[in-house]
């Protein structure tokens, strides 16, 4: 992969604006341009976006305090100041512009800018009146007089409910300004040892340009407007796959049922409470994804006649259940161009998404191999959810991975993140093999 910021260290400062969430997508796109990232956050920014989101994306600890020392004793913001090729502050609040204009080093971003000879790109975002205020304008002009690039905000609807100039500039405009700011400058500190430390377990961004759809969590099948049939899935495994894929540069659509863990903000999240909603979301994502990982625990049965009003206890209750659609099997049939009996009926999707299923079993895993063949998936991740340290709600998982080529790999007890990364290694290899195979004559998308 080569981008316009290949090998550059970009320090991304995020301050306490409602637009702070847009910095997540900006970080992802800077990484897709080949940049390494060190995120710096003001205290207020952390009320808008969690550092964990940036840490997952950048595989570096966020710096949020000018007093912070690195594990080796170096002063955090000075290391960033000395090694960053460019500092980008996006979004920049009115308060931050004022602090920087005055040279007031009371947050980690101003401290870094003051200590650095790197070019600085500032993208303000605020309410229209705030941006129009003479104090803010004078502060922005002051920053320009330091040689900083100010990427002016755009006009449109604002968080205040009003419309006006104050919206954070688009990621394209900010990245364009960053590329111009570093053009012709040598990389300041190419040696990894001089830069702020990266997570030793960081993976290469080998999934840039890949679109991965992941389902996570359980479904809730309504009995009446307030009651449902659910299951114990926490969504941890699917969310771990989504987070790992994002960290490796993929575009991720996370189709989330009921989950009890935070969702990665850089994913496109589609909420799907019931098996029917999940089916619809999966079938929509299928034709435009490179891989589909079905880690959700979808109900196998649902009440045939959900009541429209809340049932009274005195009425008693006998539920008639009907089977739900097997979403993975249906997605697989569409991907392979088969009808319900397995006969070719239409052209397969091309490129055909790599299909990964999960099978939560209790006891022996013999049924998993039959499931893999019946559903024609590329990989089936089987686990015994009754085993300690495995399955629902747990941080770890011991799985056996079965592949369409007949291989069966029992993996040791691993964190769900490690399971996710190993699984993505297999998915990446399958996508590469698929892309290297000769294309069939018929192309449907
Ligand atoms: C919901 C909400 C949204 C805000 N959005 C902005 C904004 O877009 N721009 C801005 O300058 N201040 C905004 N503020 C005010 C800043 O968060 C506040 O001035 C804070 O002190 C900024 O701190 P920082 O510059 O250290 O991040 C907002 C406050 C709230 C409560």
DSSP string spanning 144-203? HHTT-EE---EEEE-TTS-EEEEEPPPHHHHHHHHHHHHTTPPPS--STTTSPPPPTTPP
Is-same-fold flag (9-182; 211-436)?
yes
- At residue 307, does pLDDT exceed 80? yes
Of 14 and 389, more confident: 14
The two tokens of residue 140 are 């922005």
Per-residue pLDDT at 178? 98
* Ligand 1 neighbourhood includes 174 CB (under 6 angstroms): no
Kindly state if the Cβ of 96 falls inside 6 Å of ligand 1.
yes
Question: Is the confidence at residue 101, as pLDDT, over 90?
Answer: yes
In angstroms, the Cα distances linking 81 to 153, 188, 239, 259, 438 are 26, 11, 34, 40, 49
User: Who has greater pLDDT, 327 or 200?
Assistant: 327
Return all residues near 140 (Cβ < 8 A) that are at least 6 apart. Answer: 97, 122, 124, 150
CB of 107 within 6 A of ligand 1: the answer is yes
User: Does the pLDDT at position 443 exceed 60?
Assistant: no
pLDDT at 67: 92
**Position 388 pLDDT exceeds 70:** no
Q: Which residue is associated with the tokens 């500190």?
A: 189
Active site residues: 231
* pLDDT band at 390; cut points 50, 70, 90: low
Range 274-302 average pLDDT: 97
Our answer on whether the CB atom of 139 is closer than 6 Å to any ligand 1 atom is no
State pLDDT tens for residues 184-201.
999 999 998 899 998 766
How many angstroms does the Cα of residue 294 sit away from the middle of ligand 1? Answer: 39
Q: Looking at the domain covering 211-436, what would its CATH class be? A: alpha beta
Across the range 149-170, mean pLDDT stands at 87
Report pLDDT digits (tens) over 15-24: 999 999 999 9
- As a whole number, mean pLDDT of residues 49-71 equals 89
Most distant pair of Cα atoms in the chain: their distance: 78
Residue with CA nearest ligand 1 atom 13 = 17
> Is residue 442 scored above 60 in pLDDT?
no
Q: How many residues does the chain have?
A: 445
Q: Is the CB of 41 under 6 A from ligand 1?
A: no
**pLDDT for residue 1:** 46
Domain boundaries, the chain: 9-182, 211-436
Query: What is the rounded distance in angstroms from the CA atom of residue 20 to the CA atom of residue 160?
Result: 15
Tokens of 26: 């900006």
Residue 257 CA to residue 239 CA, distance in Å, equals 11
Lookup: tokens for 386: 């009754």
Q: What is the mean pLDDT of residues 149-164?
A: 84
Cβ count near 389 (within 10 Å): 11
Which pLDDT band holds residue 362 (cuts at 50, 70, 90)?
low
- The CA 93 to ligand 1 mean position distance, Å, reads 6
Which position has the higher pLDDT, 438 or 57?
A: 57
Does the pLDDT of residue 423 top 70, yes or no?
Answer: yes
Lowest model confidence (mean pLDDT) among 171-175, 199-203, 394-398: 199-203
DSSP calls for 381-401: EEEETTSTT-STT-SEE-EEE
- Would you place residue 414 in the very low, low, confident or very high pLDDT band (cuts 50, 70, 90)? confident
- CATH architecture under which domain 9-182 falls: 3-Layer(aba) Sandwich (3.40)
* Ligand 1: centre distance to CA 361 (Å): 49
pLDDT the model gives residue 330: 96
DSSP assignment of 240-275: HHHHHHHHTT-EEEEEESB-SSPPPTTSEEEE--SH
Listed in sequence order, the residues at least 6 apart from 116 whose beta carbon sits closer than 8 Å to its beta carbon are 80, 81, 82, 84, 87
Q: Return the sign of the alpha-carbon dihedral for residues 343, 349, 350, 351.
A: negative
């Amino acid at each position: 992969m080569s981008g316009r910021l290949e090998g550059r260290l970009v320090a991304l400062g995020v301050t306490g604006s409602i637009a702070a969430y847009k910095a997540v997508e900006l970080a992802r796109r800077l990484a897709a341009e080949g940049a390494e990232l060190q995120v710096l956050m003001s205290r207020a920014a952390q009320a808008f976006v969690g550092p964990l989101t940036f840490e997952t994306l950048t595989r570096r600890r966020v710096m949020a305090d000018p007093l912070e020392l690195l594990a080796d004793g170096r002063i955090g913001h000075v290391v960033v100041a000395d090694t960053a090729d460019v500092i980008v502050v996006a979004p920049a609040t009115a308060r931050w512009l004022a602090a920087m204009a005055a040279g007031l080093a009371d947050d980690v971003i101003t401290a870094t800018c003051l200590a650095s000879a790197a070019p600085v790109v500032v993208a303000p975002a605020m309410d229209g009146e705030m941006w129009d205020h003479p104090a803010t304008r004078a502060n922005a002009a002051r920053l320009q007089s330091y040689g900083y690039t100010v990427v002016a905000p755009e006009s449109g609807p604002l968080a205040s409910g009003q419309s006006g100039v104050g919206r954070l500039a688009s990621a394209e405009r900010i990245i364009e300004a960053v590329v111009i700011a570093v053009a012709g400058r040598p990389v300041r500190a190419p040696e990894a040892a001089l830069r702020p430390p990266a997570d030793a377990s960081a993976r290469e961004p080998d999934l840039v340009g890949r679109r991965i759809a992941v389902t996570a969590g359980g479904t809730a099948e309504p009995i009446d407007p307030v009651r449902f049939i659910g299951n114990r899935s926490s969504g941890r495994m699917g969310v771990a796959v989504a987070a790992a894929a994002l960290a490796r540069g993929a575009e991720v659509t996370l189709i989330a049922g009921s989950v009890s863990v935070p969702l990665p903000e850089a994913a496109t999240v589609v909420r799907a409470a019931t098996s029917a909603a999940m089916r619809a979301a999966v079938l929509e994502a299928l034709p435009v994804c490179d891989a589909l990982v079905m880690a959700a625990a979808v109900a196998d049965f649902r009440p045939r006649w959900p009541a429209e009003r809340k049932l009274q206890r005195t009425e008693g209750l006998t539920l008639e259940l009907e089977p739900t659609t097997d979403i993975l099997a249906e997605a697989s049939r569409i991907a392979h161009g088969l009808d319900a009996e397995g006969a070719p009926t239409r052209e397969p999707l091309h490129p055909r998404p790599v299909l990964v299923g999960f099978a939560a079993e209790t006891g022996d895993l013999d049924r998993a191999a039959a499931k893999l063949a019946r559903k024609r998936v590329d990989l089936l991740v089987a686990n015994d959810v009754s085993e300690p340290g495995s399955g629902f709600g747990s941080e770890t998982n011991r799985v056996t991975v079965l592949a369409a080529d007949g291989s069966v790999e029992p993996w040791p007890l691993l964190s769900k993140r490690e399971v996710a990364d190993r699984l993505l290694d297999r998915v990446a290899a399958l996508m590469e093999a698929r892309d290297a195979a000769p294309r069939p004559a018929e192309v449907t998308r």
